[in-house]
Each structure stands twice: as C-alpha cells, then as structure tokens.
Amino acid sequence: MSDLPTAEEMLSGLKYRPPSTDWMDAPAEIRKGIACYAGNPKSLEVLGFPNPRTWSCFDDDWQLPENWQEIIHEGFKERLEKFRSFKVFMDICVRCGACADKCHYFIGTGDPKNMPVLRAELLRSVYRNDFTRVGKLLGKINGARPMNYEVLKEWWSYLFQCSECRRCSLYCPYGIDTAEITIMGRELLNLLGLNIDWIITPVANCYRTGNHLGIQPHAFKDMLDFFCDDIEEITGIRPDPQFNKKGADILFVTPSGDVFADPGTFTAMGYLMLFHFLQEKYGLDVTWSTYASEGGNFGLFTSHETMKRLNAKMYAEARRLGVKWILGGECGHMWRVIHQYMDTMNGPADFLQMPVNPITGTAFKNAASTKMVHITEFTADLIKHGKLDLDPSRNDHLKVTFHDSCNPARGMGLFDEPRYVIKQTCKHFYDMPANAIREQTFCCGSGSGLNAGEDMELRMAGGLPRANAVKHVHDKHGVNMLACVCAIDRAVLPDLMSYWVPDVDVTGVHELVGNALNLPGQSDRTMNLRSEELADLQGTAEDTEDETDEEK
C-alpha cells in the first residue's frame, strides 16, 4: 500500500469543485486504490452464478455475455415490478441536492459522482432511456442515455463506492434510499458476472462452510478453545462453550470475523465469559453453531436472493437444534438483514418461542415474530436488573466514545442499548457531536463488502468524516477508545484510526463487558482481555489525564 497518500496529502487534495465537463461526458476512471479486484470464478461456480471467468476491472474487455444489454434491460424491468422502492425512487427525485454532502464517500473524495443523487442518476439515466417515453424523446439534455460499455463501467465503479449506509435517505425529503439503488444495481451487475472478490468469495465460503472466512467446523471449535485458554490465563476460569447442542435454550449467532482477527477476538472472549457467567450463575443454556457460524451476510451486498440463501441457515439451525430463540452478536449489516429482511424471507419462525430472558423474565416483544434478540438488548436487560457482577474499574484507563454502525442505526434504531451497556461498564464515556452519531452516524468507510485491501485509498477517504469526529472527542476529552457493535468496524476502524487519529484504539462493546465482568471463583484480575497489565495501563491513562488537565 505504498501508493496510499498520506493523511495530509489526502486532505489537501480534497476539492469539492465539479469538473467543467458534463458528468455524462466524463467516463469513470477505474483506478488502483479505489477499485476492488474482480470476483474469483471458482466462487461464482460454487454459488451457481452467471458468467464465471477470470477478469479484471482494469482490462478493457470484461468478457461479458453477448446479449448483456438485453440482460440488464430485462433485469431492470423485472426489478421495477418487484420493488416499489426502486420504481418510485427512479421517478421522483427532484435533484434538490440535499443528499450531496451527506455521503462520506463524497466528503472524502470530492468526486461529484459520489453525491448520492448522481450515483442514482447513473441508473436513472438508463431508466429514462429504456422505460420512459419523454426521457427517450429528449435524450441527453434531459438526462437520458442508452446503456453502453462506458455506462456499465461507471455503474460498476460507483456502485462499489457506496456502502449502503442509508445516510442520504435520512435527509432526502422523499426518503430516497441510495442503498436500495445500489442493491438493485449490484444485482444487475451480478447478472453479468460482475462483482468483487471481497464480496463474492466470502459469500461462497459462507454458503459452503457456514461462515465468510471459510472456517471449517473443527477449526471454528479450535479457535474458540484458544480464546478459552486466554480467558483461563487472564481470569483463572475456563469457559466451556457448547457447540451444535440440541435442546439448548438459545442459539447464539455472531459474525465470524470476531473469531478470526483482533480486536474482534476480544469481543468473542467477552461473549464466552458472559455465557459462562450466565450458565454458572443461572443455568442459562447457550449453544454456538458451526453450521450457522456467520451472523454477517455478504449476500446483502450481492442480491436479495443470495442474502436469503445465506440467511436461511439461522432458522434452519434453530429448528434442527430445537432452541427456544436466537441471540445475535454485535454486527452491523447482519442486523439490518435480521431486523428488516429475515422474517419476511425465511420466516415465519413459528417453531420458535417468543424470546424471554429466563433470568430477568423480560419478554422481548419487539422480537415477537422474528424471535431474534440483539446481544446489547440482552445484556442491557441483564445489567438493568442487576444480574451481572460488574467491576467497571478494569476499564478505568479507557476514555470511550461510540461509533453507531450504519445498519443498526438507520435500519433498526439501536442507539441506547449499546450506550447503556458501555456506561455501565466504563467510567469515562463521551459521545461524538450530534451530527456524527445515532441516526446521523457516518460509515466506517469500508461497509457493504468494501473492506478489501486493494481499495485502501477509498476506505481511508470514506472514513474521513468518522475519523474527523473521533479526532474531535480525542482532542477535547482525550478519548482513546472507539467502541462499536460491528465486526466490520472492528476489522477496519483500527486501520482508519491509525491513518487519521493514531492514538485511538478500537473495541467491541462486549470486550468492555468481558473486562468488567467478575466470574465466580476468578483469580486476581491483573490483565485485561488483551493480556495487557492493568497496572501499566492505569499509569499511562493517568499521565494523559494530567496532560489534558494541564492543557486546560
């Protein structure tokens, strides 16, 4: 990644002046640092997707089927009938421009085609030409143009510069949601075998092995065992997680990213400790599954059908194991799928019971039909009822802020649950400014499958607004820890922080819970879940505290 500009270079290069050429006359430039690599044909074959072949987005010839224009036209037509959102959003935009500077990719790149309105116009222009008489009649002057190779490449380029975060839809006076448009656009591209490897290969993995990372069952168990070793070393207590257990009370599903890489692994350790505590103390019977070992769903970034194919595992496994309900871990887009799609696609879940927390007696009526509860809803309920034995002092060296992930924010409305859990497990919590949190939150810059390595420039640019808000609380309050409830966040925010705000680290909310949670019979806890000595950390924290005080 030596081509990556420095933070200063990126900032100084930012201009928000559109070029003098009309946007239709400026073909997309597909370049390294922004574009992602093309999908591996083997992954397409696993899924039975069309047109598997080795190709590159940097080639002139993308090896499309001969009748590709017809495929796009027919696919477009079909989706206009199947999705009212798509049809209405194609028709009613007035191009007021309110969405323009709401997109993190526009803020970070200054590329006018990253204004949500223009991203949508890329599709609307073809819609007008193909499906409206007036559009065809007036042609280019009225924003209509026929589909051709250049337009297709433009679609591909800009549909993979949108993270489906829905921030624009919040500000749009008609609720036009660019995520919908990107979802449809990517579906159409997939009809031609146009996709990126970072999405399609995890999808193929998930389809076959149950999770995006392709972790096979025995390895999945090994990884969790490894975390148990660490927990034993840190606390003196060894959790005993259950796998694929028939007749358990609750099935737990979380993104596989958290069993794979730091700092997500520490969040996974937090889950293991929590479940161990609840089992010891209250006899709660939670099982993990190696088959439904993925909460995330890169199918959402591929097509509605693929999303359904991957998501089906959760209910299938819950039914096979005979659990009462499902508990879901910290993940962003996973929760959009569960909250807004799962029941409709793969339900009704009438074989499960209304989720009730047997320890507190709380019935999660908000999940009465889907029967799946978010872990922060669950933990917040436990803490509120005083069912956890917490010692937040082990998090005293942290000054925490919270990054609302796009999907739980604007596709669910999960705001106060994680904040409550953080505040009960940490002494120092500072929210970022209102225009960068909650429903107005900014994307990490790498959502919707764009968290590859080769598009690092795009990721750092797209993450600028988020990083900028973190820097604000870092400078103002000395914030040194960015908490989040999303596995992609945990994978990508460390890179983003080291690029823009180097002194801030990243944690999952349940890592904070794990650190604060006292396990029955534990030894003296001198280390946190990262195996760092608490005494050392407290020292450094006090130093910085002094510094900030002096500055005042």
552 binds another protein (CB under 8 A): no
d(C-alpha 4, C-alpha 372), whole Å:
41
d(C-alpha 132, C-alpha 129), whole Å:
6
Restricted to residues 259-278, the positions that interact with another protein (CB under 8 A) are 260-261
Q: Which is nearer to another protein, 68 or 220 (CB)?
A: 220
Restricted to residues 102-141, the positions that interact with another protein (CB under 8 A) are 102, 107, 112, 115, 117-118, 121, 132-134, 138, 141
Q: Which is nearer to another protein, 55 or 68 (CB)?
A: 55
Among 158, 341, 402, 499, binds another protein (CB under 8 A): 341
317 binds another protein (CB under 8 A): yes
Residue 462: which of 432, 488, 433, 434 has the closest Cα? 488
Q: How far is the CB of 208 from another protein (least distance, A)?
A: 6
Among 13, 32, 50, 94, binds another protein (CB under 8 A): 94
Check: CB of residue 467 under 8 Å from CB of residue 443.
no
499 binds another protein (CB under 8 A): no
Provide the 10 A C-beta neighbour count for residue 525.
17
Among 5, 143, 146, 358, binds another protein (CB under 8 A): 143
**Segment contacting another protein by CB under 8 A, of 229-237, 359-367, 478-486, 515-523:** 359-367
Restricted to residues 32-71, the positions that interact with another protein (CB under 8 A) are 40, 42-43, 45-46, 48
**Segment contacting another protein by CB under 8 A, of 88-96, 185-193, 389-397, 528-536:** 88-96
Q: How far is the CB of 522 from another protein (least distance, A)?
A: 26
Whether the bond between 502 and the residue before it is cis, its omega within 30 degrees of 0, is no
Restricted to residues 432-451, the positions that interact with another protein (CB under 8 A) are 435, 438-440, 451
Q: How far is the CB of 333 from another protein (least distance, A)?
A: 13
Q: How far is the CB of 292 from another protein (least distance, A)?
A: 9
Check: CB of residue 227 under 8 Å from CB of residue 241.
no
d(C-alpha 547, C-alpha 453), whole Å:
36
In which order are the strands placed within the sheet that holds 242-243? 242-243, 286-288, 250-253, 325-328, 372-374
Among 51, 109, 161, 201, binds another protein (CB under 8 A): 201
The residues, ordered by sequence, that sit 6+ positions from 37 with a Cβ below 8 Å of its Cβ are: 56, 57, 196, 197, 198, 452, 454
Task: Give the x-and-dash track for 221-250 against another protein (CB under 8 A).
Answer: xx--------------------xxxx----
- How does strand 428-429 pair with strand 250-253? unpaired
Among 91, 396, 505, 545, binds another protein (CB under 8 A): 91
Radius of gyration (C-alpha) of the chain in whole angstroms: 24
Q: Which is nearer to another protein, 53 or 208 (CB)?
A: 208
85 binds another protein (CB under 8 A): yes
31 binds another protein (CB under 8 A): no
Q: Which is nearer to another protein, 232 or 416 (CB)?
A: 416
Check: CB of residue 422 under 8 Å from CB of residue 380.
no
339 binds another protein (CB under 8 A): yes
Restricted to residues 396-425, the positions that interact with another protein (CB under 8 A) are 409-417, 420
Q: How far is the CB of 409 from another protein (least distance, A)?
A: 7
Residues shown for the chain: 552
d(C-alpha 145, C-alpha 449), whole Å:
29
535 binds another protein (CB under 8 A): no
Provide the token pair at 520. 């029955």
**Segment contacting another protein by CB under 8 A, of 9-17, 66-74, 501-509, 540-548:** 9-17
Residue 287: which of 310, 259, 261, 254 has the closest Cα? 254
Among 82, 148, 236, 523, binds another protein (CB under 8 A): 82
The residues, ordered by sequence, that sit 6+ positions from 61 with a Cβ below 8 Å of its Cβ are: none
81 binds another protein (CB under 8 A): yes
**Cα-based angle 432, 434, 435 (whole degrees, multiple of 5):** 105
- Phi first, then psi: give them for residue 223, nearest 5 degrees: -65, -45
Q: How far is the CB of 539 from another protein (least distance, A)?
A: 31
Q: How far is the CB of 61 from another protein (least distance, A)?
A: 23
Provide the 10 A C-beta neighbour count for residue 313.
21
Check: CB of residue 150 under 8 Å from CB of residue 133.
no
Residue found by looking up tokens 């829905």 in the block: 166
Q: How far is the CB of 443 from another protein (least distance, A)?
A: 14
Residue 516, amino acid: A
- DSSP tag of 18: P
Size of the site for another protein (CB under 8 A): 136
Residue 255, amino acid: P
Q: How far is the CB of 75 from another protein (least distance, A)?
A: 15
